[in-house]
Amino acid sequence: MTHRSRVRICAAALLTALACAVSVAPSAHADVLEYVNLGDSFSAGSGVLPLVGDAPLACLRSERNFARVVAEQQGYELIDVSCGGASTEDFRSRQHPDTPPQLDALSSSTDLVTLMIGGNDGGVFAGAIGACVRAALGSPGTFSPCADTAGTSFVDTIEHQTYPAIVQALSDVRDRAPSAHIVIVGYPWLLPAQGTCSPNMPVAEGDVPYLRALQSTLNTAVSRAASETGVTYVDMSVVSEGHDGCQPAGSRWVEPLVFSEQFVPVHPNALGEAAIADEVTRALTR
């Protein structure tokens, strides 16, 4: 074989290799899973520093929220539009001038959707906690001033307003992302099963089980909505037991109202967001 022939053969082999490399690149990129995270402050990780630099400041979206942990660990391509204070209404309308409706992040190519939502609908979460703190401060020594005053009002709101709103939200997500695996996460415990830890969580002792029952009602509504719409539900109630806001730093997954170690209290801390990420990953790999 002449030298010129060997050169031609090598050149042809090189061109073939380059062509193969070019043809492989698009398919490798196509294998990257498209992942969208929606939802409220628990989903955004509001209060956990550092915040996402290019996200709307009002959303308080954390670089360490559960979706970003999952995406980093699994190599997913994440679009995160979660936002502190969001309700189901903000899936279809602008929560802030610089936040498009969250559903706009979804498309027919979306592979995975995660979300936490429902706690802000009807002011249930923030409204109940605020009411019970005010009741405790206004009626010192009273066993259950919040339950005595509010009665079933918060539960009624969840049953008649929040539940159907979550069903509609999940149906809307399915319509926008028909091929996606949709995962909705329940809320981790904020308070212990019994007792209190005032002043860290300044709630009367008898109102602790009242708020726990309310949170259980909310999580049940989320679970029921997931079942009705064919969505995966991640239950945080079992794994978060003993990691509520009354526990010491290093053990708690939720920060207390007073003496919080982050600037948004009564929300998951970095440990809590990581724990949610673990449960979401388990649900995805079952």
Q: Is the pTM of this model over 0.75?
A: yes
Residue reference for tokens 């009411």: 131
User: Residue 9: is its pLDDT beyond 80?
Assistant: no
Check residue 126 and give its pLDDT.
Answer: 86
Please choose, from the candidates 188, 247, 248, 184, the residue with its C-alpha nearest in 3D space to the C-alpha of residue 212: 188
Q: At what angle do helices 207-229 and 163-176 cross, to 10 degrees?
A: 40
Same domain, residue pair 112 and 148: yes
Mean pLDDT for 102-122 is 98
Check residue 5 and give its pLDDT.
Answer: 44
Same domain, residue pair 150 and 251: yes
Owning domain of residue 244: 32-285
The torsion angles phi and psi of 141, rounded to 5 degrees, stand at: 90, -10
Check residue 27 and give its pLDDT.
Answer: 33
Same domain, residue pair 75 and 102: yes
Same domain, residue pair 42 and 10: no
pLDDT digits (tens, 9 = 90+) for 38-58: 999 999 999 999 999 999 999
CA dihedral 140, 144, 145, 151 (to 10 degrees): 170
CB-based contact 242:197 (threshold 8 Å): no
Same domain, residue pair 4 and 145: no
Same domain, residue pair 26 and 101: no
User: Residue 128: is its pLDDT beyond 50?
Assistant: yes
Check residue 286 and give its pLDDT.
Answer: 84
Same domain, residue pair 26 and 108: no
User: Tell me, what CATH number does 161's domain have?
Assistant: 3.40.50.1110
Contacts of 109 (CB under 8 A, 6+ apart): 34, 179
Tally of structural domains, the chain: 2
User: Residue 281: is its pLDDT beyond 80?
Assistant: yes
The percentage of the chain sitting over the pLDDT mark of 90, rounded to a whole number, equals 86
31-35, 59-63, 245-249, range with the lowest pLDDT: 31-35
Please choose, from the candidates 125, 118, 114, the residue with its C-alpha nearest in 3D space to the C-alpha of residue 38: 114
If you count them, how many residues does the chain have?
Answer: 286
User: Residue 17: is its pLDDT beyond 90?
Assistant: no
Mean pLDDT for 230-247 is 98
Same domain, residue pair 7 and 146: no
Same domain, residue pair 4 and 134: no
Same domain, residue pair 11 and 68: no
User: Residue 15: is its pLDDT beyond 50?
Assistant: no
Check residue 226 and give its pLDDT.
Answer: 98
User: Residue 267: is its pLDDT beyond 50?
Assistant: yes
Same domain, residue pair 67 and 23: no
Same domain, residue pair 17 and 45: no
Check residue 219 and give its pLDDT.
Answer: 98
Residues annotated as catalytic are 41, 267
